[in-house]
Chain A
Amino acid sequence: MSEPILQTDDLAIGYRTRRHAPHLVAERLDLRLYPGELVCLLGPNGAGKSTLLRTLAGMQPPLRGQLRLAGTDLYRLSPQELARRLAVVLTDRVEVGNLSVRTLTALGRYPHTGWSGRLTPRDEVAIDQALMAVGIADFAARSVHELSDGERQKVMIARALAQEPQLLLLDEPTAFLDLPRRVELMGLLRRLAREGERAVLLSTHDLDLALRGADQLWLLQPEGSIQVGVPEELVLNGAFQHAFRGAGVAFDACTGAFVFQHPPMGRIDLVGHDLAAVWTRRALEREGFVVSGHEDPPATLRVAIHDQEGQTVWRLHHEDTYQDFPTLSQTLRGVKTHWFAARTEQ
């Protein structure tokens, strides 16, 4: 493993207020960012993700500790030197008016050009590479305000790439994008990290994508400590569950998803192993049932899925009778009918 691009030692972040003592957000942060890595910064609201990102981006000095970018104290670097090594992409949609995609991307060359901003051939190459890397070379001539939100964020990433940074920081870049675009962006960022030999750090609320796409996770706990590790590790050691516990919500380590927690209504047995069974289980669990396989004692209701001449059929066993349903929706209604009927009898 090469040298870390970003390194913090015993970093404490927060902000100074004029009258009171400085407000501490998180401390004892020993973090490392290596080239080729995609790291996601996660944490519940208010844990301090933005503060950490701002501190790492050089926008807000730390309260104490060391912060090094490629070996040099980050806050000792001049704005221009910093800009040559570090680029940011922010959440908000920026209205730039009437600029072409290429012109906006070219703005990223700011720290590399002279006082006039004139672009040398070298600069043009960097711009081209940025556009291609992000995949928007085709609409370089189009005006930015014609683009959709997703394309626009890509342009902002291209601009950041044009700075030729070693470290790319992104603050919730997917916040306003729909799911397909989010996935696409994560994939793009992974590629940029790997192929460009740069470190990419992004903060996000998209836990699922972070779990799947990140090489490392930095998990900010509500009490101000941070846990670093491979995503799966953080699930297995319970850090994830701890960070995101909340009222009525729990992180299900098995599925890697959040589930609503409520007192279960009862137990239902489910028989079946294919895709239909997986989704039937989910439906039943959403309804509030605990789904079990063959257990003692058997549950009052049992759903068995089998194939009948190529069609999936759900058979609901109730006491000694059964009922067949051709669709999952009807099955669920049947389950609920029987369940509540049984309850009222009692």
Chain B
Amino acid sequence: MSATLDTVHVPPTASQTRSDLWRWSLLGGLAIALVAAFFLNVAFGSVRIPLSEIITILTGGEASKPSWSYIVLAFRLPKALTAILAGAALAVSGLQMQTLFRNPLADPYILGINAGASLGVALVVLATGAATGFLSNVGLLGDLSLIASAIAGASLVTGLVIVAARWLRHAMTLLILGLMLGYATSAIVSILIYFSVPEQIQAYIAWTFGSFGGVTWRQLLILAPVIGAGLLLAVLLTKPLNALLLGEAYARSMGVDVQRVRFWLIAGTSVLAGAVTAFCGPIAFLGVAIPHLCRALLHSSDHRLLVPATLLMGGLAALLADLVASMPGSRTILPLNAVTALLGAPIVVWIVLRRDGPRSDFSS
């Protein structure tokens, strides 16, 4: 019975390699779609600019109207890049949270990051002085103060959660803690809103709509490396994420330092989601919907495929949402969050209905 098993090597079956190949080519397709969407996003916007002009501008030439040049280079280009970064960041961190908490409805804001950032912004916008409002502090830092306050708020909540993560044994407890922190900060924001004048409320609500268009090249210089670092961390955490698919008990038995991995996952998510929220406002649905979409598309829960897939698909979805929100051809724009919700909600519903069937694409 015991043949020398060392020499027997069963090659992966032909069907297996074929299906693997299929998956990787799908990833390639996603990458191409992402690039295409990028160009679409730059080419179409509120103002109609002929395609030839776009190409001229992008290749360094002079446009017929200088305002077009400005619009494409200083407005649309950074907006598109921001969309890719933000979409990738949210989708990947959503994937991380869904795997860590083994919860298909988890999103990057599940630990109250969003609520903390909102609280920071609300304190600046709603609570500074009686007759002020808008985007500046008394010290007049303007846009940067908004970003800073969002980061401060997000960090506060994240800090609390991370400290708790070291002490708590079960992921579920952490999840509930995060949820409750979220509710608490939302309550405080509600109180602030209640005592504010309409102009301040309008300014705050404008922030909650989310936007990629507010990020200038200079801000991108900060945002891009931060998100890059978060995404790199996510790639490095691919291996333990796969182990976590079996649950924390099995993961421990395979040598995963669950406490440490949990810490890094939470830290990574905080950085990714916190940065996006700080620079772009809270953006809903991408974090929840994209991982499911990728799982369904690739028929796999393997994070070696899912992490790059959510990265690409997240950027793609964000570009498309931004395109729809800018309502090409009309002079107005839709709030970004409304568009992501309109696109994302049906996807989540579809996913949930599919799960209802005999085939399951995700662990519960």
Partner of A94, one of B12, B250, B304: B250
Which residue of chain B has its CB nearest to the CB of A90?
B249
Q: Are A88 and B253 in contact (CB under 8 A)?
A: yes
Q: Which of B10, B19, B239 has the most CB of A within 10 A?
A: B10
Considering the complex, which residues of chain B in the window 232-268 have a beta carbon less than 8 Å from any beta carbon of chain A?
236, 238-239, 242-243, 245-247, 249-250, 252-257
Which residue of chain A has its CB nearest to the CB of B235?
A116
Contact with B along A53-94 (1 / 0, CB 8 A): 000011100000000000000000011111110111010001
Q: Are B246 and A96 in contact (CB under 8 A)?
A: yes
Contact with A along B1-29 (1 / 0, CB 8 A): 11001101110110110010000000000
Q: Are B256 and A110 in contact (CB under 8 A)?
A: yes
Q: How far is it, in angstroms, between the C-alpha of A195 and the C-alpha of B5 when the chains are bound?
A: 11
Q: Are A110 and B255 in contact (CB under 8 A)?
A: yes
Whether, in the assembled complex, A113 has its beta carbon less than 8 Å from a beta carbon of chain B, the answer is yes
Whether, in the assembled complex, B65 has its beta carbon less than 8 Å from a beta carbon of chain A, the answer is no
Contact with B along A90-121 (1 / 0, CB 8 A): 10001111111011000110110101110000
Residues from chain A with a CB closer than 8 A to the CB of B300 are 98-99
Q: How far is it, in angstroms, between the C-alpha of A111 and the C-alpha of B255 when the chains are bound?
A: 6
Q: How far is it, in angstroms, between the C-alpha of A310 and the C-alpha of B16 when the chains are bound?
A: 57
Partner of B13, one of A88, A96, A117, A140: A140
Residues from chain A with a CB closer than 8 A to the CB of B253 are 57-59, 83, 86-88
Residues from chain A with a CB closer than 8 A to the CB of B250 are 88, 90, 94
Q: Are B304 and A102 in contact (CB under 8 A)?
A: no
Whether, in the assembled complex, B361 has its beta carbon less than 8 Å from a beta carbon of chain A, the answer is yes
Q: Are B10 and A131 in contact (CB under 8 A)?
A: yes
Whether, in the assembled complex, B202 has its beta carbon less than 8 Å from a beta carbon of chain A, the answer is no
Whether, in the assembled complex, A259 has its beta carbon less than 8 Å from a beta carbon of chain B, the answer is no
Considering the complex, which residues of chain B in the window 131-190 have a beta carbon less than 8 Å from any beta carbon of chain A?
none
Contact with A along B300-339 (1 / 0, CB 8 A): 1110100000000000000000000000000000000000
Whether, in the assembled complex, A205 has its beta carbon less than 8 Å from a beta carbon of chain B, the answer is no
Whether, in the assembled complex, B363 has its beta carbon less than 8 Å from a beta carbon of chain A, the answer is yes
Q: Are A98 and B239 in contact (CB under 8 A)?
A: no
Q: How far is it, in angstroms, between the C-alpha of A84 and the C-alpha of B254 when the chains are bound?
A: 8
Which residue of chain A has its CB nearest to the CB of B13?
A141
Whether, in the assembled complex, A125 has its beta carbon less than 8 Å from a beta carbon of chain B, the answer is yes
B351 to chain A, nearest CB (A): 12
B180 to chain A, nearest CB (A): 22
Q: Are B247 and A94 in contact (CB under 8 A)?
A: yes
Q: How far is it, in angstroms, between the C-alpha of A87 and the C-alpha of B251 when the chains are bound?
A: 11
A192 to chain B, nearest CB (A): 11
Q: How far is it, in angstroms, between the C-alpha of A59 and the C-alpha of B238 when the chains are bound?
A: 24
* Interface residues contributed by chain B, number (CB under 8 Å): 40
Q: Are A195 and B2 in contact (CB under 8 A)?
A: yes
Q: How far is it, in angstroms, between the C-alpha of A107 and the C-alpha of B242 when the chains are bound?
A: 8
Whether, in the assembled complex, A252 has its beta carbon less than 8 Å from a beta carbon of chain B, the answer is no
Residues from chain B with a CB closer than 8 A to the CB of A132 are 5, 8, 10
Whether, in the assembled complex, A128 has its beta carbon less than 8 Å from a beta carbon of chain B, the answer is yes
Residues from chain A with a CB closer than 8 A to the CB of B6 are 125, 129
Q: Are A79 and B257 in contact (CB under 8 A)?
A: yes
Considering the complex, which residues of chain A in the window 124-177 have a beta carbon less than 8 Å from any beta carbon of chain B?
124-125, 128-129, 131-133, 137, 140-141, 143, 145, 163
* Interface residues contributed by chain A, number (CB under 8 Å): 46
Q: How far is it, in angstroms, between the C-alpha of A107 and the C-alpha of B303 when the chains are bound?
A: 12
Residues from chain B with a CB closer than 8 A to the CB of A97 are 245, 295, 301, 360-363
Q: Are A128 and B9 in contact (CB under 8 A)?
A: yes
Contact with B along A209-224 (1 / 0, CB 8 A): 0000000000000000
Whether, in the assembled complex, B59 has its beta carbon less than 8 Å from a beta carbon of chain A, the answer is no
Residues from chain A with a CB closer than 8 A to the CB of B2 are 195
Whether, in the assembled complex, B48 has its beta carbon less than 8 Å from a beta carbon of chain A, the answer is no
Whether, in the assembled complex, A191 has its beta carbon less than 8 Å from a beta carbon of chain B, the answer is yes
Considering the complex, which residues of chain B in the window 284-306 have a beta carbon less than 8 Å from any beta carbon of chain A?
295, 299-302, 304
Q: Are B252 and A79 in contact (CB under 8 A)?
A: yes
Q: Are B255 and A80 in contact (CB under 8 A)?
A: yes
Which residue of chain A has its CB nearest to the CB of B247?
A94
Q: Which of A82, A100, A102, A191 has the most CB of B within 10 A?
A: A100
Whether, in the assembled complex, B67 has its beta carbon less than 8 Å from a beta carbon of chain A, the answer is no
Q: Are B16 and A95 in contact (CB under 8 A)?
A: no
Which residue of chain B has its CB nearest to the CB of A141?
B16
Q: Are B360 and A108 in contact (CB under 8 A)?
A: no
A58 to chain B, nearest CB (A): 8
Q: Are A59 and B249 in contact (CB under 8 A)?
A: yes
Partner of B245, one of A96, A124, A131: A96
Whether, in the assembled complex, B64 has its beta carbon less than 8 Å from a beta carbon of chain A, the answer is no
Contact with A along B348-364 (1 / 0, CB 8 A): 00000000000111111
Q: Which of A107, A131, A191, A195 has the most CB of B within 10 A?
A: A107
Q: Are A141 and B19 in contact (CB under 8 A)?
A: yes
Residues from chain A with a CB closer than 8 A to the CB of B238 are 116-117
Which residue of chain B has its CB nearest to the CB of A144?
B301
Residues from chain A with a CB closer than 8 A to the CB of B362 are 95, 97-98
Q: Are A117 and B304 in contact (CB under 8 A)?
A: yes
B20 to chain A, nearest CB (A): 9
Query: A84 with B10: in contact, given A94-B250, A110-B243 (CB under 8 Å)?
Result: no
Other than A82-B255, A99-B300, A131-B10, give 8 A-B pairs with Cβ distance below 8 A.
Answer: A79-B257, A83-B253, A94-B363, A99-B302, A107-B242, A108-B254, A116-B239, A129-B5
The 26 listed contacts between A and B (C-beta, < 8 Å) are A57-B253, A58-B253, A83-B253, A87-B254, A88-B249, A94-B247, A94-B250, A98-B360, A99-B300, A110-B239, A110-B255, A110-B256, A111-B254, A116-B238, A117-B242, A117-B304, A125-B6, A128-B10, A131-B10, A137-B10, A140-B10, A140-B12, A141-B16, A141-B19, A145-B360, A195-B1
Interface residues of A (CB under 8 A from B): 57-59, 78-84, 86-88, 90, 94-100, 102-103, 107-108, 110-111, 113, 115-117, 124-125, 128-129, 131-133, 137, 140-141, 143, 145, 163, 191, 195
The 9 closest A-B pairs by CB, nearest first: A83-B255, A97-B301, A117-B239, A111-B255, A141-B16, A95-B363, A110-B254, A80-B255, A88-B253
